[in-house]
């Protein structure tokens, strides 16, 4: 077996980790021999990288995107640039130049994965992406060939560590959302601009990648309803806990006959659900497979070394020759149909509704009347002690039986117009009894 020469594009947090694993004689060399060599590091910050990495003479540091592609010895291009512009160009040019590609770029795959997979197949090359979703958890491999004979009924979980950290800290430390975000930023768990994480888009990217593999269908990012955690209030975490639930930001994919439910939003999980116990920056993925049954995998979803481990595993699979044959053959990587999505209004779950309302007789009746007219059946109501300074309003928490999203939204519009409802708006959270 010949040596597998790697060109690494982007030497930031993860790139530096990958470079170190490829350069260091460690477990990789023990298991695989010296079959993988780092040939190029492509980045703008050449001096800085040279100092930090000290890669020796055999590694070419360059800011020329095309140079490694012209080297016939380079077999793998590892794209860790991030973003969807230069990264896309690099991946396209690499495939056209006959290189195998490994990437951890979920945004790129969520937005352009379908074209890129087609391009790779046309050129007889592969795209590895274990690092793009849940870094240290080998979920892509499980979906690719571990569950090859299984129909995946559902896949859902916590795929964003930043949000899970924030929600965990809010409840543990009685923190308001803003304080928890600030702490996450201080600890390096959240970006200076945390919107991609907290608004749920990062989770939607990952769900799009997972759903294609799980369901063998192409998912357009725009088809995933996406709600983040920035509106979550500490009081709702507490009320949910009192009801026996834990609030998590979930990415959810469920097969419904020929259609699929795909959505990202905060959701209440029963506190004894294995995913409910996953705290801090940890991720968790739960798969219901027709033969294998329920599988739950938890681990570090992000960070330099967990993601680097996944990226290097993909490089090794190319060096071993195993991944390209799987990519070339398995249908999920080929021409797949577009996923038919259940319209969000038709999705059925249970709901948690919190109203801040004037404490007077009749309010329960008014609200219950509207819910009844919209066909929404109430499972329980709890009145909590008022939290405001003057306590002119009291929070009322309704748990519904299964209802349709559309009906709940219509009901909420009507409830919010009632003069007994005093809060900014009624809070609604979905309850997943999975």
Active site residues: 206
On whether the CB atoms of residues 392 and 422 are closer than 8 A, the answer is: yes
Residue 434 lies near a second copy (rule: CB under 8 A) = no
Cβ-based neighbour number of residue 247 at 10 Å: 24
Q: Which of residues 250-289 bind a second copy (CB under 8 A)?
A: 272, 274, 277-278, 289
Contact letters for a second copy, residues 99-138 (x by CB under 8 A):
-------------------------------x----xxxx
Considering only 85, 89, 325, 416, the residue that binds a second copy (CB under 8 A) is 325
Spatial separation of the C-alpha atoms in residues 239 and 387, rounded to whole Å: 12
Residue 338 lies near a second copy (rule: CB under 8 A) = no
Considering only 105, 162, 203, 308, the residue that binds a second copy (CB under 8 A) is 308
| Residue nearer to a second copy on the CB measure, 278 or 415 | 278
Cβ-based neighbour number of residue 149 at 10 Å: 9
Considering only 175, 313, 355, 418, the residue that binds a second copy (CB under 8 A) is 313
Residue 10 lies near a second copy (rule: CB under 8 A) = no
Contact letters for a second copy, residues 172-211 (x by CB under 8 A):
----------------------------------------
| Residue nearer to a second copy on the CB measure, 30 or 385 | 30
Spatial separation of the C-alpha atoms in residues 183 and 80, rounded to whole Å: 27
| Residue nearer to a second copy on the CB measure, 313 or 367 | 313
How many residues make contact with a second copy (CB under 8 A)? 62
- Report in angstroms how near the CB of residue 339 gets to a second copy at its nearest: 15
Strand-strand pairing, 293-300 and 348-358: unpaired
| Residue nearer to a second copy on the CB measure, 12 or 138 | 138
Q: Which residues here bind a second copy, judged by CB under 8 A?
A: 1, 17, 21, 26-28, 30-33, 35, 130, 135-138, 141-142, 145-151, 216, 272, 274, 277-278, 289-300, 303, 305-306, 308-310, 312-313, 316-317, 320-323, 325-326, 329-332
């Amino acid at each position: 077996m010949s040596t597998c020469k790697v060109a690494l594009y982007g030497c930031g947090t993860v790139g530096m980790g990958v470079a170190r694993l490829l350069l260091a004689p460690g477990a990789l060399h023990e298991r695989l021999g010296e079959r993988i060599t780092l040939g190029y590091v492509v980045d703008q910050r050449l001096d800085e990288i040279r100092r930090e990495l000290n890669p020796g003479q055999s590694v070419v540091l360059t800011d020329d995107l095309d140079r490694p592609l012209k080297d016939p010895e380079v077999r793998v291009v590892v794209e860790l640039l991030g973003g969807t512009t230069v990264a896309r160009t690099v991946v396209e040019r690499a495939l056209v130049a006959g290189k195998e590609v490994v990437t951890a770029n979920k945004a790129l795959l969520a937005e352009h994965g379908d074209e890129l997979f087609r391009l790779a197949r046309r050129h007889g090359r592969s795209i590895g992406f274990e690092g793009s979703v849940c870094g240290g958890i080998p979920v892509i491999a499980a979906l690719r060939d571990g569950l090859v004979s299984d129909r995946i009924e559902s896949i859902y979980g916590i795929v964003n560590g930043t949000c899970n950290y924030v929600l965990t800290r809010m409840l543990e430390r009685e923190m308001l959302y803003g304080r928890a975000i600030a702490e996450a930023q201080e600890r390096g768990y959240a970006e200076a601009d945390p919107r991609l994480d907290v608004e749920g888009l990062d989770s939607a990217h990952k769900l799009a990648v997972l759903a294609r593999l799980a369901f063998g269908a192409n998912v357009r990012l725009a088809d995933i309803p996406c709600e983040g955690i920035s509106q979550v209030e500490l009081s709702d975490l507490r009320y949910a806990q009192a009801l026996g639930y834990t609030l998590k930001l979930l990415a959810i994919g469920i097969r419904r006959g020929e259609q699929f439910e795909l959505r990202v939003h905060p959701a209440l999980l029963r506190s004894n659900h294995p995913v409910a116990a996953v705290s801090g920056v940890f991720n968790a993925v739960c798969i219901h497979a027709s033969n294998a049954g329920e599988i739950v995998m938890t681990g570090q979803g992000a960070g330099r070394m967990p993601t680097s481990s996944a990226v290097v595993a993909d490089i090794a699979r190319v060096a071993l020759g195993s991944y390209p044959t799987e990519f070339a053959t398995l249908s999920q990587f080929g021409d797949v149909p577009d996923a038919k999505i259940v319209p969000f209004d038709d999705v059925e779950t249970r709901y948690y509704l919190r109203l801040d309302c004037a404490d007077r007789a009749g309010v329960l009746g008014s609200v219950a009347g509207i819910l009844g007219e919209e066909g929404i059946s109430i499972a329980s109501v709890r009145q909590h002690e008022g939290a405001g300074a003057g306590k002119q309003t009291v929070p009322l928490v309704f748990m519904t039986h299964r209802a349709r999203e559309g009906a709940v939204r219509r009901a909420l519009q009507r409830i919010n117009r009632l003069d007994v409802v005093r809060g900014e708006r009624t809070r609604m959270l979905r309850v997943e009894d999975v």
